[in-house]
Structure 1
């Protein structure tokens, strides 16, 4: 059951996703604020109402919502709230939570182009259009106002925004300066490293974001803050954040070096690497496993450990120091 601790109440809601339950948060201030909203399901809505009742509240008591990012398990239930409720978040939420047909068409074109570049066989190309299937659990809302780096949170004295892109391009974390509390969304999780997910560029035809590199920068950025306690989007709270950051960066580097070793024998496509890295999961979770694979390649390219080249429409990657270099 939810309870108040230092003006914050953690509410855990069920989701239809493999990640399991999602954490959302109430913050007391001049305005009662909900941070994230959960997925658009009746089960999540009933659970939210039940836990609010345990705090002596109803959904109508919530005066504003702040989104840490746009993913459906964090934004979907906005559709259950009245249109008059104010919603704040990074401007890059907008294209996902207030989707247009133009954006959805560009979404499919982007992934179909990536699938070709990644060397994905013909029988899997149909899955490019299926990568947006989780959006049925998202909302159709618009932001009331946007938030960006250093902004103070409306109605919440002492809180400010830290931009933490990587897991999502729209991702922000919320920091309370007086006691070093961070509401980190999915940027920090206790037991797993969040997957930095591929997204279409903001401008159609532009260079795609490199979320793994962004995520690493965002992790290092948090070292500059005296953070004592992290409330996470899934699972338990985190303390000793600098140590966790060091472990995450080290493990990600080790994973990338393993990918480099896989390229020593011969050049490979993203799909070939993805299938080797995730032999049981790549078909079931193609979007997630491709994001992980590409993230390691982007990282290795940034270190000049590997190189890429075009073979027709397909991109190949090879080690610069491995025996398979052509």
Structure 2
């Protein structure tokens, strides 16, 4: 389906058989929902023929069509258990998330320089089934293992049928786009900041060891060769770390300063993308003891290790 986002189109997949399963739902725009309906009609089906929906992660370009589709068909939804807070937390959760991002911008040295203009939209999904790593979902006459692969988001799952090798991966492994490891708040039960890029690298190392054959991504065409793709992503991380380290050695010390130097074209809310990218790689450099970090009145200050 077409989207207004820089990555262009977003994919949804229809698995025929028993049960008929829709994987992801596109964005909230009417055109996106109409495109899904047209694809159903192209194979002789209608909304009523969808038995269930699986959401690969809680980003709006993959969940936006849920409300419209559930007005047409009473289909249960399978989503990772980490989505429970967003789906059940209401306004209190929305305010908690907003407060986290204000703290995040301050930690980056970007307080007053970037805003997050999200409006509260109540999520009312019917028939939600929360899944976790190792669960099995029957879809399109096959059993798919749920793989929890946090990093790009905290709700990312893959569906993998080991016999056929088919893997529906959402945005976990994109061939034509290097997916961002977005900073997100921890769950209400967690206190420590999540280190999204370190999570993402661990998730990729895990899926690299699995016998995926055909990979069905959330954006772009299906492909084979996920191991070489993951190797390329790891190499990109090394190159990004080298570039960031050079900026630190040149005297830049905050996430915002380095992001502005490396991504000067990012403006408005898009600045958050750069902050996430730099923060993730800083976590990697700190873990490797290449740089050290201290807090100065809530702002993280980075220096190169001698």
Q: Which residue of 2 aligns with 1:148?
A: 132
Asked if residue 238 in structure 1 is aligned to residue 223 in structure 2, the reply is yes
- Alpha carbons of structure 1 residues 54 and 98: separation in structure 2 relative to 1, 3 Å: farther
Asked if residue 34 in structure 1 is aligned to residue 22 in structure 2, the reply is yes
Asked if residue 95 in structure 1 is aligned to residue 93 in structure 2, the reply is no
Contact 2:7–2:177 (Cα < 8 Å) also in 1: no
Deviation at 1:213, TM superposition (A): 0.6
SS at match of 1:273: helix
Asked if residue 114 in structure 1 is aligned to residue 98 in structure 2, the reply is no
CA distance in 1, matches of 2:102, 2:168: 35
Q: Which residue of 2 aligns with 1:55?
A: 43
CA distance in 2, matches of 1:185, 1:163: 11
Counterpart selection for 2:213 from 205, 228, 235? 228
SS at match of 1:256: helix
TM superposition score normalised by structure 2: 0.93
- Alpha carbons of structure 1 residues 114 and 142: separation in structure 2 relative to 1, 3 Å: farther
CA distance in 2, matches of 1:148, 1:284: 32
User: 1:71-220 counterparts in 2 under 5 A?
Assistant: 71-82=59-70, 84-98=74-88, 100-122=90-112, 124=113, 127-128=115-116, 130=117, 132=118, 140-141=124-125, 144-155=128-139, 156-203=141-188, 206-220=191-205
SS at match of 1:89: strand
Runs of 5+ unmatched residues, structure 2: none
User: 1:283-294 counterparts in 2 under 5 A?
Assistant: 283-294=268-279
- Alpha carbon RMSD of aligned pairs, Å? 1.9
Describe the superposition over 1:239-270 as per-residue Cα deviations: whole angstroms up to 9, x where unpaired.
11111111110111110121011101225111
Q: Which residue of 2 aligns with 1:313?
A: 298
- Alpha carbons of structure 1 residues 215 and 293: separation in structure 2 relative to 1, 3 Å: same
- Alpha carbons of structure 1 residues 300 and 178: separation in structure 2 relative to 1, 3 Å: same
- Alpha carbons of structure 1 residues 142 and 202: separation in structure 2 relative to 1, 3 Å: farther
Runs of 5+ unmatched residues, structure 1: 1-12, 322-326
- Alpha carbons of structure 1 residues 302 and 282: separation in structure 2 relative to 1, 3 Å: farther
Describe the superposition over 1:7-33 as per-residue Cα deviations: whole angstroms up to 9, x where unpaired.
xxxxxx122322211001011232100
Is 153-162 or 228-237 further displaced after alignment? 153-162
- Alpha carbons of structure 1 residues 292 and 282: separation in structure 2 relative to 1, 3 Å: farther
